Amino acid sequence: MPNINLPNFPYVDGATPNGEQLTEQLYDPTAVNGSYETMNGGLDSVNADVAWTKIQQNQIQEETFTSAKATAGTANLDYFPEQWFGNIAVGLTPTNGTPAKFFQPVPGANSTFYLPWDGYVIFTWSVVWGGEQWDTNLPAYMLLFIDDQYDVANASQRFTTRSLFLPSSTGPYNHWAELKNRHWNGHFTKYLTKGWHTAGLNLLTNGQAKTPNVPSNYVQNPSDLGIPAQPSTAGGVPLLNRPKNRQIRVFVRSFKHIAFRGIE
């Protein structure tokens, strides 16, 4: 590499090259590989010698073909939906259109990054979450946002629902965390253009629904160990006006992306 082949060369004794002929050897941008001007950007893949078939990894600068970043968190994060999502009433099937301001970005599962070129970005994440939830129809969603947008067509949303159950006719409620917590190792691939981007997981749940504000057996204090279980009329402790999604806890989480330079 390259294959410079000078014109007017070699010189021959007895002949007298003129100034133009000599100059053409040194600099002639019109002649491909015909002068030393080839050094001005001509030492490239197009001009590579056929014997040069490989570029070694260490000859390539970082972030030439790939780019990546990771973030994570281990401290438990507690969200109390009545305070955090008091304006939200969402159902089992998510839809587009909920304003981004109603979502809560999860620290440790969000990232802002600069993409140095257009390319394909694979987002991957791991997250565990669950909570005190009393209704199978009122989930707590975790959704992927990219550049402050989500789209249910991206299929990047999962949810938890009811977690507390009375498995028999007696005894306390059990918190079935081992079954009903979500362990989501998700991924999503998108083609993004060069520039700054944001991406990460956001939480959304119903913070409005509550148990009746009158004595009932609808939801009982999970710490009430009355055996046999008793309705409120017999000494049980009904939880009045209690949020059906009382608490959502996000456990360990991480969020990564790896980008591959490419054409769409």
Q: How far is the CB of 260 from other proteins (least distance, A)?
A: 5
What does the alpha-carbon distance between residue 87 and residue 93 come to, in Å, rounded to a whole number? 18
Element (H, E) at 78: strand 77-79
What does the alpha-carbon distance between residue 131 and residue 102 come to, in Å, rounded to a whole number? 19
Residue among 52 and 107 whose Cβ is closer to other proteins: 52
Q: Name the residue among 55, 139, 60 with its Cα closest to residue 93.
A: 139
Residue among 16 and 30 whose Cβ is closer to other proteins: 16
Q: How far is the CB of 85 from other proteins (least distance, A)?
A: 20
Residue among 1 and 77 whose Cβ is closer to other proteins: 1
Q: How far is the CB of 52 from other proteins (least distance, A)?
A: 5
Q: How far is CA 77 from CA 11, 69, 72, 127, 179, in A?
A: 80, 22, 13, 12, 20
Element (H, E) at 13: none
Residue among 60 and 87 whose Cβ is closer to other proteins: 60
Q: How far is the CB of 214 from other proteins (least distance, A)?
A: 13
